């Protein structure tokens, strides 16, 4: 069984200290994630790859109380009984806000403004047994997500 | 000086109609609007049709009559009806035509809308992660708004309860059973803080309006309602919007497209938010109604707790909102939803809304639409 990222060029891989790969506009300095062919601020086309900040603040969040329809492919969550997971927006200081899965948290522990850090988590297992890994954010002080690294077991992700 | 008038409206009930096509519903709504205006399909010099599911809304001519009329199909997400009305209004103001029909129809499968992320400018992984989902955006948007402005979960429940109550008085609504705030709060949590009964659902239905040059409106009705402005906008850099893997830093404080569309519509109409006596807002969820009230300039951020608790947005309040039950009680057939709003404004402004008629017949009404990937439309009507 091999682990691989959900998409190429989204975060640095492999490695224990991942960074998200964004784009920065050479004309206006605005950031985007993921990198695009045009800058959403000025329309410029000279976007350069930049590693984004690995910590940020929770700008908002919600729970995911049902399994989304296709194209959702995740198998990381408990289905019997179904257990909601969390998604949110992380503000990376001076760069941008980005949407992410959240791990190592509950409805009661999430607070808007709390510090968050980037982790990788197992997201799905393919029919061929490959493990798909994605990025997520976890409360910066959380120990629950400390063990989440490429290849970690699924228990850790839903803890 | 009003340039465009609405002289007839028609609605096919919203809900579930197994075996009935969207086009058949569209034809009924069109006939109903034409009858309301005292006109026939053959009198229409142009038509505009909007739908998400129907490729060619103009196929309705097979049932209405093959008159050879110019018929333009438009689609602009949840703002489809706004774009359809805008086109009709432009054709009349340009003097191309004097009278025409605007029609919307849809028939959606149950459950939250889904689509291919790459057709919305989003990468495939965004959909695979389950992030390409409108409901979670609305949960995140109202959660932040509650944090910033102190809106309570009780206010969200009260908004949904109001809309179910209004729907119970509307024979054309999908959900006609009143629900208490407690039942709404206790229903399944879909995307915190939004529970199942705080959300609208995609469904089926059709709506139509007959529009004409204001100069000739009184030939057809002694109760014309004027379309004073209709403006559509897309999101600006810095707004926090649906289906966006990333957004600019929050300190830019950029208004949402609804705020931009509303400001532009008020300016064009020469009418201010304080003049509005009734509003139909995009209540995709209870939180969206709360936020859109402020984005349209109809209240200050944070004032909604007090307004809702005092009943100001109820049928007998000073600013009734979603008097026919809104999207929460009617569901959302995308192409028809905004024309349902206009139909309801016209019914109320003409004093024909029956059991749900607001006491003081409003002289100015506002209709607002918002949807993926960050489009909004605001229409302003006056008697």
pLDDT along chain B (383 residues), means of 10: 96 98 98 98 98 96 98 96 98 98 95 83 95 96 98 98 98 98 98 98 97 98 97 96 95 95 98 98 98 98 98 98 98 97 98 97 97 95 98
How wide is the angle at C-alpha B306 spanned by C-alphas B302 and B312, nearest 5°? 115
Both tokens assigned to A64 = 């995911």
Does the beta-carbon distance from A62 to B116 stay under 8 Å?
no
How wide is the angle at C-alpha B117 spanned by C-alphas B284 and B257, nearest 5°? 45
Do residues B85 and B379 touch, judged by C-beta distance below 8 A? yes
Which residue of B128, B236, B238 is the best one to mutate when testing the A interface, meaning the one whose CB has the most A CBs within 10 A?
B128
Does the beta-carbon distance from B246 to A84 stay under 8 Å?
no
Instruction: Give φ, ψ of B233 to 5 degrees.
Output: -140, 150
Distances, alpha carbon A78 to alpha carbons A151, A155, A158, B383, in Å = 18, 9, 8, 56
Q: Which residues of B touch A22 (CB under 8 A)?
A: 246
Does the beta-carbon distance from A71 to B131 stay under 8 Å?
no
175-204 in B: which are within 8 Å (CB) of A?
188-194
Integer Cα distance of B272 and B123 in angstroms = 41
Both tokens assigned to B24 = 């058949």
Helices (H), B169-315: 181-186, 257-269, 286-295, 304-309
Q: Indicate the DSSP class of residue B155.
A: H
Query: Which helix or strand (DSSP H or E) is residue B12 part of?
Result: strand B4-15
Q: CA of B255 to nearest chain A CA: how many angstroms apart? A: 15
| Residues B272-322: tens digit of each pLDDT | 999 999 999 999 999 999 999 999 999 999 999 999 999 999 999 999 999
Integer Cα distance of B69 and B60 in angstroms = 12
Beta strands at B364-371 and B375-382: parallel, antiparallel or unpaired: antiparallel
What are the structural domains of chain B?
Answer: 4-111+198-382 (3.40.47.10)
- Chain A, chain B: beta-carbon pairs less than 8 Å apart: 121
Supply the pLDDT for residue A142: 64
* Half-sphere exposure (Cβ direction) of B78: Cα atoms closer than 13 Å: 28
Integer Cα distance of B160 and B198 in angstroms = 6
Query: Which helix or strand (DSSP H or E) is residue A49 part of?
Result: strand A47-51
Calculate the dihedral angle through the C-alpha atoms of A132, A135, A138, A144, rounding to the nearest 10 degrees: 30
> Which residue in the block uniquely carries the two structure tokens 């062919």?
A37
Q: Which residues of B touch A87 (CB under 8 A)?
A: 130-131, 136, 140
The residue ranges of chain A whose pLDDT is under 50 are: 144-159
Q: Which residues of A touch B128 (CB under 8 A)?
A: 6, 71-74, 124
Integer Cα distance of B238 and B249 in angstroms = 7
Calculate the dihedral angle through the C-alpha atoms of B350, B354, B357, B359, rounding to the nearest 10 degrees: 90
Calculate the dihedral angle through the C-alpha atoms of A18, A21, A22, A23, rounding to the nearest 10 degrees: 140
> Which residue in the block uniquely carries the two structure tokens 């438009």?
B74
Integer Cα distance of B64 and B75 in angstroms = 21
| Residues B314-363: tens digit of each pLDDT | 999 999 999 999 999 999 999 999 999 999 999 999 999 999 999 999 99
Residue B142, SS3 per DSSP: helix
Do residues B273 and A120 touch, judged by C-beta distance below 8 A? no
Query: Which helix or strand (DSSP H or E) is residue B105 part of?
Result: strand B99-107
Integer Cα distance of B327 and B232 in angstroms = 19
Beta strands at B194-195 and B189-191: parallel, antiparallel or unpaired: antiparallel
């Amino acid at each position: 069984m091999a682990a691989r990222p959900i998409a190429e060029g989204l975060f640095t891989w492999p490695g224990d200290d991942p960074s998200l790969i964004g784009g920065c506009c050479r004309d206006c300095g605005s950031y985007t994630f993921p990198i695009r062919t045009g800058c959403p601020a000025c329309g410029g086309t000279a976007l350069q790859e930049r590693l984004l900040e690995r910590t940020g603040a929770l700008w908002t969040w919600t729970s995911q109380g049902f399994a989304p329809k296709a194209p959702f492919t995740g198998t990381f969550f408990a289905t019997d009984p179904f257990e909601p997971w969390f998604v949110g927006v992380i503000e990376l200081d001076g760069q941008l806000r980005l949407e992410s899965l959240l791990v190592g948290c509950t409805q009661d522990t999430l607070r808007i403004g709390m510090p968050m850090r980037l982790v990788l988590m197992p997201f799905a297992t393919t029919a061929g047994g490959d493990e798909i890994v994605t990025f997520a954010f976890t409360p910066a002080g959380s120990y629950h997500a400390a063990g989440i690294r490429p290849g970690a077991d699924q228990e850790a992700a839903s803890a | 000086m009003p340039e465009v008038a609405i002289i007839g409206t028609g609605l096919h009930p919203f809900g579930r109609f197994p075996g009935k096509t969207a086009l058949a519903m569209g034809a009924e709504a069109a006939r109903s609007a034409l009858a309301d205006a005292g006109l026939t399909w053959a009198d229409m010099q142009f038509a505009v049709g909007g739908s998400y599911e129907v490729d060619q809304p103009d196929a309705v001519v097979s049932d209405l009559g093959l008159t050879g009329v110019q018929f333009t199909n438009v689609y602009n997400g949840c703002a489809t009806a706004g774009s359809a009305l805008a086109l009709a209004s432009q054709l009349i103001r340009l003097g191309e035509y004097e009278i025409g029909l605007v029609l919307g129809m849809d028939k959606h499968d149950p459950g939250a809308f889904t689509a291919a992320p790459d057709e919305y400018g989003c990468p495939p992984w965004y959909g695979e992660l389950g992030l390409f989902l409108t409901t979670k955006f609305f949960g995140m948007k109202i959660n932040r708004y509650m944090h910033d402005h102190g809106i309570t979960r009780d206010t969200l429940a009260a908004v949904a309860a109001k809309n179910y109550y209004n729907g119970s008085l509307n024979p054309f609504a999908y959900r006609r059973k009143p629900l208490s705030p407690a039942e709404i709060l206790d229903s399944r949590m879909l995307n915190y803080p939004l529970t199942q009964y705080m959300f609208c659902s995609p469904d089926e239905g059709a709506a139509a309006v007959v529009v004409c040059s204001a100069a000739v409106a009184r030939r057809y009705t002694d109760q014309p309602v004027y379309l004073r402005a209709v403006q559509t906008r897309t999101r600006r850099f810095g707004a926090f919007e649906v289906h966006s893997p990333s957004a600019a830093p929050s300190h830019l404080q950029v208004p949402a497209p609804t705020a931009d569309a509303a400001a532009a519509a008020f300016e064009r109409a020469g009418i201010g938010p304080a003049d509005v006596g009734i509003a139909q807002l995009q209540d995709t969820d209870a939180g969206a109604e709360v936020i859109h009230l402020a984005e349209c300039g109809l209240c200050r951020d944070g004032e909604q707790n007090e307004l809702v608790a005092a009943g100001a947005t109820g049928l007998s309040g000073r600013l009734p909102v979603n008097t026919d039950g809104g999207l929460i009680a009617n569901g959302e057939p995308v192409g028809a939803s905004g024309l349902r709003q206009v139909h309801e404004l016209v019914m109320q402004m003409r004093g024909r809304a029956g059991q749900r008629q607001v006491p003081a017949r409003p002289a100015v009404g506002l209709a607002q639409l918002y949807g993926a990937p960050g489009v909004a439309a605001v229409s302003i009507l006056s008697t």
